């Protein structure tokens, strides 16, 4: 499948329970949906909640969580970000704030917990999910030290996450709730996201690229240093198959 998105930067994607693709058109503040005929339509207009959007995750009930850093990375001073919720009826509301650059998110298979990477705080933060999709009981799920970007959850309840940066070597780590590092894969360039997949769900895919800091984002985009790496993983994706 190839989907061409009419946006300057398509940030993140996930799928609705019925299999239709969702794409975050970040700078435009739109959540786009791919129809069976290949056309893209607006699923939700996010512009009233914040400027600029980043990551997405969909739970098993069709609730869609999106997040916004609430500032332009490399161009504006840091401001805390937010988490937004798009419900199946199309309504949009904010469900959490004061997130230190929200990045990758996962929802546990029982639809009870949302975990989000706070990249500027170097931690994974968890929330309980209410019946209406609201979030409560905010808590630190794991301290990472440095890192946290696109994450994934395995069937044993551990999270794979990018780590390192600002002097620490780049890596992708498998972390248990509480912060214990179960596995660590050293890399020669920064990891921006990871996902489990493959024939049996136990292949870890990692997107990596040379990264010199947020003040050199333009160089990152021009470097063409991006790669997709793979490694075996001890457990499949949560909910596999």
Tens of pLDDT, residues 14-68:
999 999 999 998 788 899 999 999 899 999 999 888 878 999 999 999 999 999 9
- Give the pLDDT confidence score for residue 81 in this predicted structure: 96
- Give the pLDDT confidence score for residue 113 in this predicted structure: 98
- Give the pLDDT confidence score for residue 106 in this predicted structure: 98
- Give the pLDDT confidence score for residue 68 in this predicted structure: 95
Q: Is the peptide bond before 140 cis (omega within 30 degrees of 0)?
A: no
**Which of 86, 207, 97 has the alpha carbon at shortest distance from 149?**
207
Tens of pLDDT, residues 110-154:
999 999 999 999 999 999 999 999 999 999 999 999 999 999 999
> With 60 as the cut, is the pLDDT of residue 194 above it?
yes
Instruction: Mark out the alpha helices in 59-127 (DSSP H runs).
Output: none
- Give the pLDDT confidence score for residue 192 in this predicted structure: 93
Classify 47 as helix, strand or coil: coil
Please say whether the beta carbons of 238 and 160 come within 8 A.
no
What sign for the dihedral angle of Cα 28, 37, 58, 194? Answer: negative
- The C-alpha atoms of residue 227 and residue 241 are separated, in whole angstroms, by 26
- The C-alpha atoms of residue 66 and residue 63 are separated, in whole angstroms, by 10
Q: Please provide the CATH number assigned to the domain covering 1-143.
A: 2.120.10.30
Q: Which residue has the tokens 């991006």?
A: 226
Tens of pLDDT, residues 202-227:
999 999 988 766 655 566 556 777 89
Is this structure's pTM higher than 0.85? yes
Residue 94 β-bridge partners: 84
Name the CA radius of gyration of the chain, rounded. Answer: 17
Instruction: Mark out the alpha helices in 23-157 (DSSP H runs).
Output: none
SS3 content of the chain, % helix, strand, coil (to 5): 5, 50, 45
Tens of pLDDT, residues 148-190:
999 999 999 999 999 997 778 999 999 999 999 999 999 999 9
Give the mean pLDDT of 235-241.
91
- Give the pLDDT confidence score for residue 216 in this predicted structure: 57
- Give the pLDDT confidence score for residue 16 in this predicted structure: 94
């Amino acid at each position: 499948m190839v989907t061409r998105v009419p946006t300057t930067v398509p940030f993140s994607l996930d799928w609705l329970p019925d299999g239709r693709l969702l794409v975050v058109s970040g700078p435009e503040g739109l959540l786009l949906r791919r129809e069976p005929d290949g056309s893209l339509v607006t699923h939700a207009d996010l512009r009233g909640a914040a400027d600029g959007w980043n990551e997405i995750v969909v739970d098993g009930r069709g609730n869609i969580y999106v997040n916004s850093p609430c500032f332009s990375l490399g161009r504006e001073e840091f401001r805390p970000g937010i988490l937004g919720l798009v419900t199946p009826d199309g309504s949009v509301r904010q469900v959490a704030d004061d997130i230190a650059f929200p990045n990758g998110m996962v929802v546990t298979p029982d639809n009870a917990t949302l975990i989000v990477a706070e990249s500027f705080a170097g931690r994974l933060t968890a929330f309980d999910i209410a019946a209406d999709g609201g979030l409560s009981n905010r808590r630190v799920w794991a301290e990472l030290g440095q890192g946290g970007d696109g994450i994934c959850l395995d069937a044993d309840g551990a999270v794979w996450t990018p780590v390192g940066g600002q002097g620490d070597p780049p890596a992708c780590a498998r972390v248990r709730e509480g912060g214990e590092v179960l596995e660590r894969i050293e890399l020669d360039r920064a990891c921006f996201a990871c996902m489990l997949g493959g024939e049996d769900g136990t292949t870890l895919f990692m997107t990596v690229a040379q990264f010199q800091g947020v003040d050199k984002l333009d160089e990152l985009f021009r470097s063409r240093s991006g790669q997709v790496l793979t490694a075996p993983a001890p457990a499949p994706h949560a909910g596999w198959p």
